[in-house]
Structure 1
């Protein structure tokens, strides 16, 4: 398999390029700096011997590894995104290599006393004796999802260098702006031309996911009335006080910090307010479609009740669906999950099949006609200073990709 050092070199070359996306932008990609890595990836794909390498006007990258067998088998794809989350800075990433991790605290940044500790992040203990790549405590790392890109390119390189491994046609795709929910928006499924695909965008070794949240965004606007505070009695309406009535009326235990597994939630993302007007931004999440619709209705009815109470239309709620649970599209083709599961077992990995408490390009792609489960990429603690990835996990992901190619080559069209 690809050497550990080559994986480290490839991955660190990606994460040191700032590709943070911007939800306030209306361009694709949302930031010009994403082009820097995108163009470099195009050249790398050509260098390792991939064919039909293309990048479109929106920075969507596609490439082909041609079949090396003389019969028709399904065309499969592997997809990852190259942007990083705007939740935490991805500029000036300085990856640190921790050889033979001993299970103790890792001092990420001596100057700022930033420590990555198994006392807070117990998953670290699964990787004792392995090689970890961490941040220096001042940025995120970018394993989400540059680990996935490194794994896909490394697996393609391995298959090219080992033509004795039989496989059908394989398509790879790299996308911008996944972190702001737009990664699949301009993905050309017809051009990609795969029967199904896998996003390499999960976390710990063994993760295999074909369920995700149904998701919506909600904007609650509260209208107040500004009057000089010295003469405000009976006249002023402070929108910020009214806004607290709304947020306190939602179920307090149905929030991210109190839920797990398939439990849904209301999540207050931000508050912007003055006396005259306040805006609450929420995300609504639930794996169950009926519960998802009920959550949206709870917010609408709450606004109606408060408006009735004040006998004025002070509350408005605007809800927009973002993506849906891909399970509905995957269950009719469960053999694609079975293949991934078998590929993991071949690599000595125990599959961890569980729902994603989030979204993935695979969800939108599945509804666009490209069934697309999600496979682990190996990273932990995404979107923050404590992000890390074990190199051995990346090696296992590469092995899984190769195994999927082998298994699919045995299938008839």
Structure 2
């Protein structure tokens, strides 16, 4: 680097994770929780203090800012994006981050709940982090590294570039989104207002990883309609929809096509929520596969299973609804190979091996890619996501900042 730099990523991260930004999949507002704007307002204030005068939060909670180009060239505008919300899966209220300095390779026992043990056997990546400073939650909440590590990394990069005009770069647009964890992160985003040509999300895990393909995803709702009757006079009349639902769930595959039985590139169908009464019962599924065509096969399989159940209960019926959620961004990114190639080179320049990994999930980048902003996903160090055992390495976050410094410079070499 052209000047000595003191990283700010750790202090920013520790500050951000203590702000509760948990999103809510059942909310009908956008953002789904107003408390996400608490972090958004803080980010705007910090960006303005850096000198990025156009930093602002819009009505939907999106935060945008510009780092102006310091080159005379006509260069692509690059967007760096991270999401502010944390997952609904586990509490994000009252996060107490704990820094484990110079990690010694042993299992990490979380202080507020000793039953929560981040074991090396369950988290083998920790073997690579001996000597690093590891940040965890205290045991009662998730940490929020997903994706406040990404937020802190981008904020530190902005601080670095503003403070050192000797680092060449084109125009960089910063974007922080709400509601990524509930699949709505870019629903209200105005791409024209963002004004970028290409993007990178900072929301991947292991140091050196770059993700340019992800699950394609649909949501599916299946309704079972029974026949209501007073239970005191129900003989020969009542068909209980809850029992239909139970029979249907029992028919789901036991040894394949589920999250708990698949890894790598294998897809799944996953019931995530049930509700109802004796007259009507509903189950919501997520369908996932890297091959988009298989989602239709999964939906058809579930329809057939539902039909088997209703056929066994005369008088009952079922209904189905499938909604597209997101698609495999590889379809788009294969058309822009330089976007990934430059990121890989930036990773190598900071001394890390490139880890090309498929995402068994989705990111804002997948949605953005199909909206017209090709957007692979880069590492932050966040690990064990959506759980009280979530952790991140300080040194991984710092390496990510270094990688972005290299990346923005590479984009000036056309």
TMscore range, shorter length: over 0.9
Partner in structure 2 of residue 174 of structure 1:
176
| Pair 1:67-2:69 in alignment | yes
Q: Aligned partners of 1:314 and 1:372: how far apart in 2? A: 43
Partner in structure 2 of residue 322 of structure 1:
325
Per-residue displacement from partner, 1:78-99 (whole Å, max 9, x unpaired)? Answer: 0001111111111111000100
- SS in structure 2 of the partner of residue 201 of structure 1: strand
- SS in structure 2 of the partner of residue 159 of structure 1: helix
Partner in structure 1 of residue 165 of structure 2:
163
Deviation, 1:333, is 0.6
Q: Aligned partners of 1:94 and 1:400: how far apart in 2? A: 28
Q: Aligned partners of 1:169 and 1:332: how far apart in 2? A: 23
Partner in structure 1 of residue 56 of structure 2:
54
- SS in structure 1 of the partner of residue 224 of structure 2: strand
Q: Aligned partners of 2:341 and 2:133: how far apart in 1? A: 30
Partner in structure 1 of residue 31 of structure 2:
29
Contact (CA 8 Å) 1:51, 1:66: kept in 2 or not? no
Partner in structure 2 of residue 200 of structure 1:
202
Partner in structure 2 of residue 401 of structure 1:
404
Match of residue 11, structure 1, among 5, 10, 13: 13
Partner in structure 2 of residue 374 of structure 1:
377
Contact (CA 8 Å) 1:78, 1:198: kept in 2 or not? yes
1:8-407 map, 5 Å? 8-109=10-111, 112-229=114-231, 231-252=233-254, 253-407=256-410
1:111/1:139 CA distance change after superposition, 3 Å: closer
Per-residue displacement from partner, 1:84-124 (whole Å, max 9, x unpaired)? Answer: 11111111110001000001122212565432221322222
Deviation, 1:400, is 1.1
Contact (CA 8 Å) 2:81, 2:200: kept in 1 or not? yes
Deviation, 1:228, is 4.7
Q: Aligned partners of 1:317 and 1:257: how far apart in 2? A: 25
Q: Aligned partners of 1:262 and 1:112: how far apart in 2? A: 35
Q: Aligned partners of 2:389 and 2:208: how far apart in 1? A: 21
Contact (CA 8 Å) 1:210, 1:355: kept in 2 or not? yes
Deviation, 1:247, is 2.3
- SS in structure 1 of the partner of residue 400 of structure 2: helix
Q: Aligned partners of 1:200 and 1:167: how far apart in 2? A: 18
Q: TM (normalized to structure 2)? A: 0.95
Number of positions where the alignment pairs a residue of Structure 1 with one of Structure 2: 410
Q: TM (normalized to structure 1)? A: 0.95
Q: Aligned partners of 1:303 and 1:144: how far apart in 2? A: 36
Contact (CA 8 Å) 1:212, 1:355: kept in 2 or not? yes
Q: Aligned partners of 2:174 and 2:313: how far apart in 1? A: 56
Per-residue displacement from partner, 1:254-278 (whole Å, max 9, x unpaired)? Answer: 1001111111100011222433332
Structure 1 residues not aligned, in runs of 5+? none
Root-mean-square deviation over aligned CA pairs: 1.7
1:102/1:327 CA distance change after superposition, 3 Å: same
